[in-house]
Structure formats: C-alpha cells, structure tokens
Structure 1
Amino acid sequence: MKPRPEVPTEPTAISAAEQFQNQTLRPILKALNDLILAYYRHHLPKRKAAFDRFSPDDKLAYIERSVREDTRLRLMLIGMVVGQFSPEEWAVFVAEEAELTRRISNLLIGRLQSQVDQLSSVG
C-alpha cells in the first residue's frame, strides 16, 4: 500500500480517540476514498434503491441510514479501514473499540455524503 496522505487537522485534539481519529483514521479514509466510493456504488443496485431519483436531501439521508442500519455494508466499510491498521494502531483501536467504531462510521458517512454527486448514475 502506498503511504498514507497527510490530512491537515487542528492541533487541539483533546481525547485519545480524537487524536487517533485525526492521526490515523482520517489519513486511512483519504487513502481508501476511491475504494470506499466503488464499494458503495456496488452496494446501491443490490439494495434496489432508486438513488438517482432521490432528492439531494433524500440521498444524504439514504447514505446515513444505509451505513448505520445495513450491518453487512457497515462491517465491510469498517473492515476496510481496520485492515489498514498497524499492530500498534490495532492495540489503540481495541482499547476504545466502541468509540472508534462510532467515529469511523461518522467519518464514512461524511465522506460519502460529501461526494454524493460521484455516487449518482449508478446501475
């Protein structure tokens, strides 16, 4: 895998989880962006969603709902991220798994929503 990209963040991270999010999760998600988009595009026709016909607000809501409620989709996307961890990062993740999993889900939703136009014209 190529080196992780730099992601500018505010140096005011107050918790270990926020620090991990900024130093580890954001660069991983940025590096995996094309794969995340491709997988989500692959997911849409399987759910028979008329995504292209949704209003812009409905598209954003659908993305959030699908990542939060579709267990298979959520676990695949989170697995893509976790699979990029070093053993040291894995140890940090396991220590705060629930919080960091929540943060990964939120970051995934935000990333997909910010690129909603690239998800259109699917299927």
Structure 2
Amino acid sequence: MNSRDTFLKELRGQSIGSVTSQSTAEESFQNEVLRPILKLQNDLFIASFINYIKENKVDFNSKTVEAKLAVIDNTVQKDIKFRNEMKGIIIGLFTTEEYKFYTKNASNINKRIKNMLLERLKSQVQLFDN
C-alpha cells in the first residue's frame, strides 16, 4: 500500500457500523469507507450547503422546518452540479483500491452516497440558519 492510501485510512479512522460475514460488498464499503469519510467531511458539507443557499438566493431562514427539509431534498436530488461537487468531496478521499471498487459499482454506491448525504444534511438543518 502506498503512503497516500495509508495516510487516508489513518485520517478516516475506524469503520462506522457493523461489518459481518453476511454483509454485502457494498454494505461493507459503506461502513468501512463512506461513513468515515462523510463524518470527516461533515464541516465541508455544511459549508458547501450554506454557500449553495447564498449563491442561489434561497430564502432559507423564513421557511418552516418542513420547507427547509424539502429544499435540502430537492437540492441533493435534482441539482446535479451540487451533487457532483459533494461526490467529489467524498471520492477524493478514496484509496486507489476503493476507487476501483467504486467504478465497478458506481450506480449503487452513488445512491448510497446520496441517501447518506441527505440524512446528514437534514439532521443538521438548524446549522443553515443565519
């Protein structure tokens, strides 16, 4: 393993969630790779979404909580540019082997990334108010 891969694995820390012999390869990837990266990059996701709100002039503060959650949902689901930016923040912390696995399973892993990112942003909706 090269020094970059070693550094990345040490930076991310331990897997989050259980990985058993019954876990699929994608479940294992989610718990061993995606969850630690999303946790590590959380502050950047928050800053990116706050920037998105400002750039797109979304009147976020005056909305109800339900409407705020709908804005988050709509942004992650439909704004391809924003979603690709978030994926880049995650994929940039893959090791070479993890990237190879990702390219073979990109469709399913992208769905997992999208769902995990949605939940992460929605659970921190209070941080987006000025």
**How far 1:10 sits from its partner (Å)?**
3.0
Partner of 2:111: 102
Q: Distance in 2 between matches of 1:77 and 1:32?
A: 10
Q: Is the 2:46–2:121 Cα contact (8 Å) retained in structure 1? A: yes
Q: How many residues align?
A: 121
Partner of 2:11: 3
Where do 5+ consecutive residues of structure 1 fail to align?
A: none
Q: Distance in 1 between matches of 2:19 and 2:48?
A: 32
Q: Distance in 1 between matches of 2:74 and 2:14?
A: 29
TM-score (norm 1): 0.91
Deviations 1:23-76 (A, max 9, x none): 100000000011111111111011111111111111111101101101110000
Larger mean CA deviation between 6-15 and 20-29 belongs to: 6-15
**How far 1:97 sits from its partner (Å)?**
0.3
Q: Is the 1:17–1:100 Cα contact (8 Å) retained in structure 2? A: yes
Partner of 1:111: 120
Where do 5+ consecutive residues of structure 2 fail to align?
A: 1-7
Q: Distance in 2 between matches of 1:77 and 1:100?
A: 13
1:113 partner amino acid? K
Partner of 2:4: none
Deviations 1:8-31 (A, max 9, x none): 413356321111011100000000
Q: Is the 2:14–2:36 Cα contact (8 Å) retained in structure 1? A: yes
TM-score (norm 2): 0.86
Greater Rg over alpha carbons, structure: 2
Q: Distance in 2 between matches of 1:84 and 1:8?
A: 16
Paired residue secondary structure (2:11): coil
Q: Distance in 2 between matches of 1:24 and 1:84?
A: 9
